[in-house]
């Protein structure tokens, strides 16, 4: 298995500001993923973050709004830019653990509230 740590665990932000969420994995992983879970809904994939290349964004998500960094095999960041109340969600980082065939592990999530 993999242990994934995210911070901040929660934050209250002002409209128009940006916030960076950090994700740390306790082992080297090839693929990391960022998901959004809006209130009362399931998870939606934002992007796939691979080390050494640009993140791959899903339909409806763009790099200018959600820039992602992946400097090494254990760490990634997601920035939510120019926030509006519609960005209030839980943002979850996940990774496929090495040695496990496709099993996905999640961090505890970062709950953002935008006022």
Interface contacts to other proteins, rule CB under 8 A: 1, 4, 6, 31, 33, 41-45, 48, 58, 90, 92, 94, 100-109, 111
Nearer to other proteins, 23 or 114 (CB): 23
Least separation in angstroms between residue 20's CB and other proteins is 18
Q: How far apart are CA 94 and CA 5, in angstroms?
A: 10
Q: And the tokens for 61?
A: 């998500």
Least separation in angstroms between residue 42's CB and other proteins is 4
Task: Yes or no: say if 2 and 30 are a contact pair by the CB < 8 Å rule.
Answer: no
Going by DSSP bridges, is the β-strand pair 110-114/10-13 parallel, antiparallel, or unpaired? parallel
- Paired strand residues for 32: 49, 95
Nearer to other proteins, 52 or 102 (CB): 102
* Closest by CA position to 31, among listed 53, 45, 49: 49
Nearer to other proteins, 19 or 36 (CB): 36
Least separation in angstroms between residue 26's CB and other proteins is 15
């Amino acid at each position: 298995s993999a242990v994934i740590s995210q911070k901040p665990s929660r934050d209250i932000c002002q409209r128009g500001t940006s916030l960076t969420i950090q994700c740390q994995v306790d082992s080297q992983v090839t693929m990391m993923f960022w998901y959004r879970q809006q209130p009362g809904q399931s998870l939606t994939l934002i992007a796939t973050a691979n080390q050494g290349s640009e993140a791959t964004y899903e339909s409806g998500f763009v790099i200018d709004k959600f820039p992602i960094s992946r400097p090494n095999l254990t760490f990634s960041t997601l920035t939510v830019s120019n926030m509006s109340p519609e960005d209030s969600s839980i943002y979850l980082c996940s990774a496929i653990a090495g040695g496990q065939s496709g099993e996905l592990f999640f961090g505890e999530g970062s709950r953002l509230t935008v006022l």
